[in-house]
């Protein structure tokens, strides 16, 4: 097999832009529902006035349930995706998920104009959150496996797009609040935005196979295996005088095919040469076979622990605890406070943390300092719980000022994005190229596991405040 010399380039960084958009599209559902918590709480307003006193008839714990029902399907369907990977084509998994997400967003937008009882609205919203995140899990797992086949920088670009999804949603919410339109019109415009974003994501994915650079990398494995087979079979038919493929000692050179230096196979004089060529083919195919999930996990378990830990800490307090922080400057600013200091602050710095990894990668993947720094993020949990969270039952308020809360949120989110992106990009480097897709799928599972554990912990932590 001749080595290809005309490797295509990513003209205009178009493949990079597409993977950035795909990253943006994977987290649009979660971020738009999370950022719209004020809208949902307004629809679920169960406060009534009795003799001049506000009395809460029913507490829905919307933020906690939203977080939990967003992350549980992510965990379950990430596992299911490993089965779908074998039985359902990549195109159906990705394009099909995007279409279903689009339909669910359209339903959510329509419900803005439909009057409903509070309990009924809560049930429908929770069901929508469950299904939209189920399809999102299949989409995310499939795309992580896809981007793992490209050069490493595309993983960082993809995750940078994911980081920007939250900023996109927060800005959309700010514009809806600032529009001075009635609440229904503002909410309708807000939920129409992700419908457009999902459509753009779908068209971007459909464009990807038409680009030479993407075709070369995404199809290289299958083309390589076919080429290696053809070469070895062809070489086996040309065995003469105990020589195979021009080597004086009759050895098979598979280095050009595999990129490595496999042991050379001794060839017997003809007519046994053809049989030995097939043995060599079997040997090379064995070397090409992907490692088992357990073997891959043993190589990346530190990164799997890190990504689980990062999201456990992050989701345990954001947004279930942070969304209830109150400003120390009541007035018009109060309408924008949570959107700016909680959601926008988190998402901008999370995106910055992911983007920084394009230039800075410290500590290294083999450094013991890396998991130590990840674990140290636990300190943000009590710091955020001691901010001005209202209402509260047990803990005192140590940080009243908005600026302190904003500073803690900035460091909290910057470190979250940075360590998540490093963990996800380091993992495929710790295995052989043939196992990169398996590593990506495993990391997606542990990412979902961390999100689910964090969502579960948000209930007792919010109660403890």
pLDDT band at 243 (very low <50, low <70, confident <90, very high): very low
The pLDDT of residue 69: 84
Q: What pLDDT band is residue 200 in, cutting at 50, 70 and 90?
A: very high
Confidence tier at 56 by pLDDT (50, 70, 90): low
**Residue 214: C-alpha distances to residues 4, 8, 143, 220, 361 (Å):** 16, 9, 13, 10, 26
Q: 263: pLDDT confidence band, cut at 50, 70 and 90?
A: very low
At residue 376 the predicted structure's pLDDT band, cuts being 50, 70 and 90, is: very high
Instruction: Give pLDDT tens digits for 420-458.
Output: 989 988 988 888 888 877 787 788 788 888 988 998 898
pTM: 0.70
Q: How confident is the model at residue 386 (pLDDT cuts 50, 70, 90)?
A: very high
- pLDDT, mean over the chain: 78
- How much is the pLDDT for 251? 31
**Residue 445 confidence (pLDDT):** 81
The predicted-structure confidence for 269-281, as pLDDT tens digits, reads as follows 444 444 454 445 4
Q: Give the pLDDT score at 384.
A: 96
Residue 238's pLDDT is what? 46
**pLDDT at residue 202 above 70?**
yes
User: How far is Cα 148 from Cα 154, in angstroms, rounded to an integer?
Assistant: 8
pLDDT, position 231: 44
Q: Among 174-188, 251-265, 443-457, which is the least confidently predicted range?
A: 251-265
In the chain, the percentage of residues whose pLDDT exceeds 90 is 26
Rounded mean pLDDT, 365-384: 95
Most confident among 119-123, 148-152, 242-246 (mean pLDDT): 119-123
How far apart CA 397 and CA 394 sit, in angstroms, is 10
Interacting residues of 360 by C-beta distance below 8 A, sequence separation 6+ = none
Tell me, what's the pLDDT at 8?
Answer: 78
DSSP state of 241: T
Q: At residue 117, does pLDDT exceed 50?
A: yes
Residue 160 has pLDDT above 80, yes or no: no
Cα distance from N-terminal residue to C-terminal residue, the chain: 66
pLDDT for 55 equals 52
Residue 428 near residue 439, CB atoms below 8 Å? yes
Break the chain into its structural domains and give their ranges. Answer: 11-218+290-464, 224-288
Cα–Cα nearest to 252, from 241, 263, 242, 260: 263
CATH level 2 (architecture), domain 11-218+290-464:
Up-down Bundle (1.20)
Is residue 378 scored above 90 in pLDDT? yes
DSSP β-bridge partners for residue 55: 48
């Amino acid at each position: 097999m001749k080595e290809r010399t005309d490797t295509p380039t990513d003209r205009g960084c178009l493949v990079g832009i597409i993977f950035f958009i795909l990253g943006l599209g994977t987290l649009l559902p979660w971020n738009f529902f999370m950022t719209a918590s004020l809208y949902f709480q307004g629809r679920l307003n169960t406060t009534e006035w009795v003799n001049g006193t506000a009395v809460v008839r029913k507490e829905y714990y919307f933020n906690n349930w939203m977080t939990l029902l967003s992350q549980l399907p992510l965990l379950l369907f990430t596992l299911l995706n490993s089965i779908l990977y074998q039985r359902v084509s990549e195109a159906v998994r990705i394009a099909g998920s995007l279409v279903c997400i689009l339909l669910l967003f359209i339903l959510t937008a329509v419900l803005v104009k439909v009057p409903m009882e509070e309990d009924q609205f809560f049930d429908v919203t929770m069901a929508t959150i469950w299904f939209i995140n189920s399809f999102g899990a299949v989409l995310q797992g499939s795309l992580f496996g896809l981007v793992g086949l490209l050069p490493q920088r595309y993983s960082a670009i993809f995750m940078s797009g994911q980081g920007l999804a939250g900023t996109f949603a927060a800005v959309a919410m700010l514009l809806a609040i600032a529009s001075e339109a009635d609440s229904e019109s503002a909410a309708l415009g807000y939920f129409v935005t992700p419908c457009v974003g999902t459509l753009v994501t779908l068209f971007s994915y459909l464009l990807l196979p038409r680009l030479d650079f993407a075709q070369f990398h995404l199809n290289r494995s299958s083309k390589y295996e076919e080429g290696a087979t053809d070469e070895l079979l062809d070489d086996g038919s040309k065995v003469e005088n105990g020589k195979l493929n021009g080597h004086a000692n009759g050895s098979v050179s598979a280095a050009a095919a595999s990129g490595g230096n496999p042991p050379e196979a001794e060839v017997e004089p003809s007519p046994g040469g053809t049989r030995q060529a097939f043995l060599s083919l079997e040997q090379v195919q064995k070397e090409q076979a992907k490692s088992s999930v357990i073997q891959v996990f043993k190589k990346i378990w530190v990164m799997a622990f890190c990504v689980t830990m990062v999201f456990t800490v992050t989701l345990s307090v954001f947004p279930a605890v942070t969304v209830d922080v109150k400003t120390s400057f009541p007035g018009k600013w109060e309408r924008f406070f949570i959107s700016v200091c909680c959601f926008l602050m988190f998402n901008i710095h999370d995106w910055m943390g992911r983007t920084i990894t394009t230039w800075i990668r410290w500590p290294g993947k083999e450094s013991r300092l890396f998991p130590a720094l990840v674990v140290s993020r636990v300190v943000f949990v009590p710091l955020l719980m001691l901010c001005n969270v209202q209402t509260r039952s047990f803990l005192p308020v140590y940080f009243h000022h908005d600026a302190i809360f904003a500073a803690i949120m900035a460091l909290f989110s910057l470190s979250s994005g940075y360590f998540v992106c490093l963990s996800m990009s380091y993992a495929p480097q710790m295995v052989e190229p043939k196992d990169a897709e398996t590593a990506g799928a495993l990391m997606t599972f542990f990412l979902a596991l961390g999100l689910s554990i964090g969502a579960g912990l948000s209930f007792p932590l919010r109660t403890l405040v």
